[in-house]
Each structure stands twice: as structure tokens, then as C-alpha cells.
Amino acid sequence: MTQRGALIAVLLIGLASFSLVAVARYERHEPTQWEQVQAALSQALSQVPEELRPTDLYLDGQNPAHAASVEFDFASGALLLGPGAENLPSSVWLHELGHARMRGARPHGVLGGRLFRAIDEGAADYFAACVSGSPRLGNASELRDLTAPPAVAASEWATLALPSGFDAHRMGWALAARLYAIEPRRGPLLDALVACLDGESELDRAADTPSATVQALLRACPANARDRIAKVLTAWLPAVLSTPGSPQ
């Protein structure tokens, strides 16, 4: 897709099948790229269990940030596609579909917002790994292996409060690895995580602290899964930031 070959489309997912319907603007002189995008997305969606699929998706064929990329934008609810997105591996599409499925309320503050971005990235990595059946996510230039996560140093956690240096994907990678080590296939843990991040919550009203953010998240989780999710977050977070526990 080029600058001239922009597209906006809506993906409608039925109960037993899904279809792509082009709407708004899409220049027909680039049908090959559009067909390849359809094929890449359809292939990824075919791996996702019906109950874990997003209810609807919008595609925007002009991603101003990156080439050869697909990125879910929480503000618009669209998948932003860069040129070459159709060539990305299925795990990249699955990661972004995970974001699209888990799109409940989010914190507005700086500290809570950054911490939650890391949680979001970890949840999307875990979603992609469980659905694909492989802990290796991404492409050769940006590979994340959930069996070989990075050790997040104290200096990296400090970037939650600093003007630069924060890396949500690296922190999320470490969280996803902990989740994957507990349950490496789709099961109660993934289902609970999806429910935590996609349901009603107080996250958009929580105080701007890591502890308040985690507590608000846990209150959004199914009651029978809170202790389990709390233990994972406690193991992932440095003690100085939070000892979440399970809210009453």
C-alpha cells in the first residue's frame, strides 16, 4: 500500500464466520495489496477462538508512524496499517487482535497510563502466544521469545516517571513470559485476563499511582481469578512500586 492507495475498511465478524467489507475510501487501482491484507488478517482470525475474537475492527491503510506494521489504535479503535503490513507474520496480527479484543477503560494519568501500557503489551503477547501455540512472536528484526524474557532492571522501572526511556513492549514481554510459564495454552488464565481488560472497570478514575492502577484492574477481574492474576502481577512488579494483593 502506498500513500495513494489508502484504505479504510470495517471488519464484520459473524458468529460462525467473518467477512471484510470495504467502506469509506479505498482506491481500487491497488487490489492486490488489499487482497493480501484480507488474506493475512483472515488467516490470523481463523486461529482465534470465536469467543476471543474482537466484535468489530476498522482498518486504516495509512499508518503515519511505521512501514511494514500493523498497530491497534485505542483512541480510534482501528488497526493502522503501514506499507507491507500484509507480509507480517501471523503472530504480529494476533498481538494486535489481542489489543482489539481487550479494549476496556484505561488510566488517564502518566504513571498509571504507562504501567497499563506495559500490562496491555504483556497481555497481547500472551494472547498471541496462546492462540498461535508458539512462544516466539514477531519477525526477525523484532523477535520476542516468551521462554527467554529480558530481566527488567530497576532503572527501567524508574522510566515510568521519567520523560524518556520507557519501553512498554520490553516490560510487557517480561509479564507475558510469566503468564506463559504458568499456562502456555489458551485456558482459564487467558480467559480471565481477557475479562479483566475488556470489561467494566474503574481504571479511568483510578488515582495515578501503580498501586491504585493494579487495584482497579484486579477489581475488574472475575472474582475467582483475582488471586491468580494478583500473584502474577506481584511477581512481575518490583516491590517498591506495588504489592497488589487481591482487593476485597
- Residue 246's pLDDT is 53
Residue 234, pLDDT > 50, answer yes
**Could you tell me which of 92, 148, 102, 158 has the C-alpha nearest to residue 125?**
92
196 exposure class (CB count in 10 Å sphere: 0-12, 13-18, 19+) = buried
Taking only the tens place, the pLDDT of each residue in 77-128 is 888 888 788 889 999 999 999 999 999 999 999 999 999 999 999 999 999 9
Question: 26 Cβ partners below 8 Å, 6+ apart?
Answer: 6, 7, 8, 9, 34, 61
Distance between CA 123 and CA 77 in Å, rounded? Answer: 17
Distance between CA 85 and CA 47 in Å, rounded? Answer: 18
Question: 209 Cβ partners below 8 Å, 6+ apart?
Answer: 111, 112
H-helix or E-strand spanning residue 91: helix 90-101
- Residue 31's pLDDT is 61
